[in-house]
Amino acid sequence: MSDFTNTGIMVNGLDSVIAANTELSHVFGSDGKLVYCGYDIYELAGHASFEEVAYLLWKGHLPNREELDELNALLGANRELPQAVIEGLRQVSKDANPMDALRTGVSLLGAQSGTRFEGTPTFEEAVELAARFPAIAAAFYRLRQGLEPVQGRADLNTAQNFLYMMHGEEPTEGEWRGLDGYLVLLADHGLNASTFTARVIASTNSDICSCLVGAIGALKGPAHGGAPAKVMEMLNEIGSLDNVESWLTDALDKGQRLMGFGHRVYKAEDPRAEVLRGMAKQASTPEFFMLSKETEDKALAMLNERKPGRKLYTNVEFYSAAVLGAVGLPGDFFPVAFAVSRSVGWSAHVLEQVQVNRLIRPASHYVGPVPDKKFVPIEER
């Protein structure tokens, strides 16, 4: 009989297993740093637009004025949804999870496009999907309220268009700049679960729509993309400054997880959280920011006291809730905003994967019985 002992190295959750070479982004977890194509996130946040960051991830360098104008024109030309996609979204239940609607819309987009998405993924396809993610999300947002979708405008950027297509009116500068900053910070983040999913699908030589549909499915999971909504629920339950300490104490005594703290990779503060904290202070009402800050301070102190050595810090989800809420997104649309941003990173990884493609096919550790069983017909069982 063959030896069933697995001689490979089995790592639960694939922690520290290197599955791809990438030039796109990297998380330096122990230092609390995030890098996009050689740029520290602090160099980009508050300085580069989402469109500039998208170009950086797709092309490997920041665009000059001509290149940025060409990208904006291409994005503007792709914001109108095919009628078949809109009609498909009309059939989605109004109380469906918005991530399900987004996943359905992207799938319909691929299915209604003939053979256009059937070849090797291209830059032009990546741009088209980046333009249509917010259009699909906004269309569902309006349809579930009994309103007709609003057509995007070529003179507005991605953040402006997302809010405009949702609400039917131009956002204030404070609103769209807050969303634009959020989109920059969430555009890519190493080989996270959804990005890995997109690369696995790309490795099978599948189309780019299928890659991003799979990524949406991974991001939908509450362990990945749903945390900001849970943070908002937590803060709403706490309600006031007077209730912070007692609420947190009760939650920790019951063994509940405090949302917005700790990270699988970072062993220092998530750099995106630091930037978002400043954005939240500007975008939120003073009362809500004070509630958030008091909750953060008290939670970190309690976690440090109860779980010494765990290195639990504020993560990106905590202040994402404040920023996204301030720009007018309902809680169940927080993961959708995450997907709108990450669609750029996903497609950039797909383009990178297909350049030097090899089917991603890891081994598994078989822990079942050895093959000594004999088949018995059903009549004899």
Considering the domain architecture, whether residues 61 and 159 belong to the same structural domain is answered as yes
**Which range is least confidently modeled, 9-18, 49-58, 167-176?**
9-18
Considering the domain architecture, whether residues 344 and 279 belong to the same structural domain is answered as no
Per-residue confidence at 269, pLDDT binned at 50, 70, 90?
A: confident
Give the residue, 150 or 269, on which the prediction is more confident.
Answer: 150
| 88-to-35, 101, 114, 145, 305 alpha-carbon distances in Å | 38, 9, 16, 16, 52
| 145-to-106, 167, 171, 176, 354 alpha-carbon distances in Å | 21, 11, 19, 22, 40
Considering the domain architecture, whether residues 73 and 186 belong to the same structural domain is answered as yes
Range of the domain at 253: 227-326
Per-residue confidence at 10, pLDDT binned at 50, 70, 90?
A: low
Per-residue confidence at 114, pLDDT binned at 50, 70, 90?
A: low
Residue 372 falls inside a structural domain: no
Residue 376 falls inside a structural domain: no
Per-residue confidence at 313, pLDDT binned at 50, 70, 90?
A: confident
Report pLDDT for 298.
95
Considering the domain architecture, whether residues 197 and 270 belong to the same structural domain is answered as no
Is the pLDDT reported for residue 290 higher than 80? yes
Is the pLDDT reported for residue 129 higher than 70? yes
263, 296, 349, 352: which one is catalytic?
A: 263
Per-residue confidence at 226, pLDDT binned at 50, 70, 90?
A: confident
Q: How many domains does the chain fold into?
A: 2
Considering the domain architecture, whether residues 234 and 129 belong to the same structural domain is answered as no
Residue 14 falls inside a structural domain: no
Q: Which of 68, 275, 62 is nearest to 185 (CA)?
A: 275
Give the residue-averaged pLDDT of 338-363.
95
Report pLDDT for 362.
85
Residue 185 falls inside a structural domain: yes
Residue 214 falls inside a structural domain: yes
Report pLDDT for 381.
84
Please report, for the domain that includes residue 320, its CATH number: 1.10.230.10
Report pLDDT for 4.
46
Active-site residue, 317 included: yes
Considering the domain architecture, whether residues 159 and 281 belong to the same structural domain is answered as no
Per-residue confidence at 367, pLDDT binned at 50, 70, 90?
A: confident
Measured distance CA(297)–CA(237) in Å, rounded? 17
Give the residue-averaged pLDDT of 166-171.
96
**Which range is least confidently modeled, 8-17, 77-86, 298-307, 352-361?**
8-17
Considering the domain architecture, whether residues 198 and 104 belong to the same structural domain is answered as yes
For the chain, what is the mean pLDDT?
91
Q: CB neighbours (10 Å) of residue 156?
A: 20
Considering the domain architecture, whether residues 175 and 297 belong to the same structural domain is answered as no
Per-residue confidence at 225, pLDDT binned at 50, 70, 90?
A: confident
Active-site residue, 263 included: yes
Please report, for the domain that includes residue 58, its CATH number: 1.10.580.10
Considering the domain architecture, whether residues 254 and 108 belong to the same structural domain is answered as no
Q: Which of 168, 172, 214 is nearest to 193 (CA)?
A: 214
Phi/psi at 39 (nearest 5 deg)? -100, 125
Residue 6 falls inside a structural domain: no
Residue 203 falls inside a structural domain: yes
Q: How far apart are the first and last CA of the chain?
A: 26
Considering the domain architecture, whether residues 196 and 233 belong to the same structural domain is answered as no
CB of 137 closer than 8 Å to CB of 333: yes
Give the residue-averaged pLDDT of 45-72.
97
Instruction: Provide the strand spans (E) within the chain.
Output: 25-28, 33-36, 39-40
Report pLDDT for 2.
45
Considering the domain architecture, whether residues 231 and 340 belong to the same structural domain is answered as no
Considering the domain architecture, whether residues 130 and 272 belong to the same structural domain is answered as no
Per-residue confidence at 252, pLDDT binned at 50, 70, 90?
A: very high
Residue 4 falls inside a structural domain: no
125, 175, 317, 352: which one is catalytic?
A: 317
Last residue of a domain, one of 326, 341, 374: 326
